[in-house]
Chains A and B, each alone.
Chain A
Amino acid sequence: MIAKALEKVNAMTAEKNPKKCPELAIGDIVRVSVKIKEGDKERIQVFAGDVIARDGKGITETFTVRRISFGVGVEKVFPFASPSIQSIEVTGHAKVRRAKLYYLRSRTGKAARLRAL
């Protein structure tokens, strides 16, 4: 009974904020378009990088995108169901053997790249 009521709420949320691109895989190379509000203006910012992790399940599931920006590693965690995400575009897939690519954090330069298929 308890779980049912929780599912109902989650279903309502999911209907309003459906998951975008739930088939996203670890090692995917993606471009995530995010709506950003500045004052009363809204613009789209693209964050491009590699998907290095998926976390959580159900309505709270997130994915982590890592990129090297001006020589500095930057990671962003996006909830799949976030209404601020306008689109997720998968531009490629790399060969990976792990579910979490955190080892990329300790690498620099050429070693920090993923090998695209």
Chain B
Amino acid sequence: MQGLIGKKIGMTQIWDDNGVAVPVTVVEVGPCPVVQVKTLEKDGYAAAQLGFEPQKAQRLSKAERVRFEKAGVETQKVLSEFAPDAADEVKAGDVLTASVFEGVAYVDVQATTKGRGFAGVVRRFRFAGGPHGHGGHSKRRPGGIAARDLPGWVEKGKKMPGHMGCVVRTTQNIRVAKLVAEENLILLHGAVPGPNGGIVRVTKALKKASK
């Protein structure tokens, strides 16, 4: 399988073999039961639909519940599709664990970022802002947004204050610092999008091969 659904646990630090401290994000990946297998013949593409985090059956509608019953797995909170590896032979009902990432050096992580609410341009687009001293009255303002007569309007897509965060973002090529397969934990070098406790999609790196 190309990846698993996981939960961001939080950040801490470990030591590598050279005695250097490595900042890591702990992500709990799996166990993910296979709820449905999509095939090229039937669905037009190959994928496996995985579930994550058990959910009480009474909290789901019948339509949702039945798909788990058909697969013969516990009801789950989250569902997500992943592409299978060439050699994979999964069927509905199988449970995938963190061992999927055995020997994987780099992963991509996709998650919903933390919401920042209505943010100004300094925070949202890293504008420099105006001077804080020397009588500066334009401390965090955007400044001019267009010329006056020519072109006579404000460009489309002009960076302005507005809602920030709470969007799905993918961070690519995150190095796997350590895999603790028996606890279903994966330690990733550096930061991962989203809040602690947030749901993340961890997939094998698209652009960087694991050696």
Contact = CB atoms under 8 A, between A and B. Distances in A.
B154 interface: no
Contact of B183 (A3, A5, A10, A13): A5
A69 B24 CA distance: 35
Contact of B10 (A6, A17, A60, A84): A6
B21 A79 contact: yes
A2 B14 contact: no
B185 A9 contact: yes
B183 A82 contact: no
Contact of A59 (B10, B12, B183, B197): B12
A5 B19 contact: no
A45 to B, nearest CB: 13
Contacts, number: 48
A5 B183 CA distance: 9
Instruction: Report whether over half of chain A's contact residues are helix, strand or loop; otherwise say mixed.
Output: helix
B15 A2 contact: no
A81 B15 contact: yes
Nearest to A12: B180
Contacts of A6: 9-10, 12, 26
Nearest to B24: A9
Interface string B184-201: 010100000000110000
B12 A82 contact: no
Contacts of A35: 19
Given A2-B196, A5-B28, A8-B185, A83 B19 contact: yes
A58 B19 CA distance: 18
A2 B21 contact: no
A8 B15 CA distance: 15
B183 A8 contact: yes
B39 interface: no
A6 B13 CA distance: 10
Interface string A41-62: 0000000000000000011100
Contacts of A110: none
A49 B37 CA distance: 64
A79 B197 CA distance: 28
Interface string B97-122: 00000000000000000000000000
Interface of B: 7, 9-10, 12-15, 18-19, 21, 24, 26, 28, 180, 183, 185, 187, 196-197
9 contacts: A2-B9, A2-B196, A6-B10, A8-B183, A9-B26, A59-B13, A81-B15, A82-B19, A84-B19
Interface of A: 2-3, 5-6, 8-10, 12-13, 16-17, 35, 37, 58-60, 79, 81-84
